[in-house]
Homo-oligomer: A and B are copies of this chain.
Amino acid sequence: MSVTAAKGFTAAGIAAGIKDNGNPDLALVVNTGPRLAAAGVFTSNRVKAAPVLWSEQVLRGGQVSAVVLNSGGANACTGPLGFQDTHATAEKAAEVLGHSAGEVAVCSTGLIGVRLPMDRLLPGIEEAAKELSAYGGDKAAIAIKTTDTVHKTAVAEGAGWVVGGMAKGAGMLAPGLATMLVVLTTDADVDAPGLDAALREATRTTFDRVDSDGCMSTNDTVLLLASGASGITPEAKEFAEAVRSVCDDLAQQLIRDAEGASKDIRIEVVNAASEEDAVEVGRSIARNNLLKCAVHGEDPNWGRVLSAIGTTSAAFEPDRLNVAINGVWVCRNGSVGEDRELVDMRYREVRITADLAAGDESAVIWTNDLTADYVHENSAYSS
């Protein structure tokens, strides 16, 4: 159901010829109202793609009537001409849909440093507009795939209202924002500040805590659009929880589809002095290539966890650290704990618990193992 699960939205996904292989590569999501409220969260990378620079401006107005998304090219590091391409994309969508270009967000994903084939993209917008449908959510989700093996959608239902969404992302997942494009829609009647608050809190504890390969994208975008079509304004907390639930679901789908991964690693840092400490330690563990290789080899190499913790500025005493892998406390008080032979790592999900013994805060960070397939996917061709 994706972005069309909520009333007041239509969507489409087509093959415009942006990708050489003829796969779907252009998606449109349109808010048919009555409300056009929107909020967005963007990459914190200082090198931002043209569509990010454009959409940040659009979102400042708090209104989005349509989103154009393309795969097959990131339109990043393309200079002033690349920005003109994004502008022309928004203008074309506005013309075809009868909207204002200042309310059209644009998202792009693919190779950095290559101009988009505008001679295919602009006619594609006309074609996509003809396909717009209240059942087009899945097609839109399929059209934004790059190296994704599956399309990703999620829905949460409230009392008479819905939050739905789609995501793409399989590599370059990283904090600052897990690298990806995400469009969420809702028919709840919520204004732009309400959407913004719910979205920021949701991404902070979901997409922001997915760190597949430590690399931060130039194109990360998460948009939340509200049509108000249900006529219902949910209680803020209830609405925020629905948005968080959809973000969490999509973030999990991103991790499970990460490039070349054979293991999903759930890193829980407990008994930290602060949530910031817990997140810092979790990220440090998540980015340790040696540990990620060990998990790939089903080797409960807890020394690599400790050496990762030791590089952080978090509050802890080395001789009070405890580490469990899949429930077995292989490290106690910074030293050898239970027999590592007891750890069963045959299954896809691997749980690492790092106990800092320094407080009562905690955080969960997700990552993947590092595999020869990851190397292959990212060395055999440009992406």
| A residues in contact (CB < 8 Å) with B | 44-48, 74, 76-82, 111-115, 171-172, 176, 213-218, 287-290, 293-294, 296-297, 299, 301-304, 306-312, 316, 318-319, 321, 330-331, 333-336, 370-372, 374-382
In the complex, what's the smallest C-beta–C-beta distance from A287 to chain B, in angstroms?
Answer: 7
Contact (Cβ within 8 A) A215 B297: no
Contact (Cβ within 8 A) A374 B293: yes
List the B residue with the shortest CB-CB distance to A303: B112
List the B residue with the shortest CB-CB distance to A175: B311
Q: Within the assembled complex, what's the spacing in Å between the Cα atoms of A213 and B215?
A: 14
List the B residue with the shortest CB-CB distance to A113: B303
Q: Which residues in B have their C-beta under 8 angstroms from that of A318?
A: 46-48
Q: Within the assembled complex, what's the spacing in Å between the Cα atoms of A171 and B287?
A: 16
Most chain B CB within a 10 A radius of its CB, from A46, A333, A370? A46
Most chain B CB within a 10 A radius of its CB, from A308, A312, A336? A336
Q: Which residues in B have their C-beta under 8 angstroms from that of A112?
A: 301-304, 306-307
Which of the residues B217, B303, B316, B379 comes within 8 Å of A294, measured between beta carbons?
A: B379
Contact (Cβ within 8 A) A113 B310: no
In the complex, what's the smallest C-beta–C-beta distance from A181 to chain B, in angstroms?
Answer: 15
Contact (Cβ within 8 A) A289 B77: no
Q: Which residues in B have their C-beta under 8 angstroms from that of A113?
A: 302-303, 306, 330-331, 335-336
Q: Within the assembled complex, what's the spacing in Å between the Cα atoms of A374 and B318?
A: 29
Q: Which residues in B have their C-beta under 8 angstroms from that of A380?
A: 297
In the complex, what's the smallest C-beta–C-beta distance from A230 to chain B, in angstroms?
Answer: 39
Contact (Cβ within 8 A) A215 B46: no
Contact (Cβ within 8 A) A335 B79: yes
Contact (Cβ within 8 A) A290 B218: no
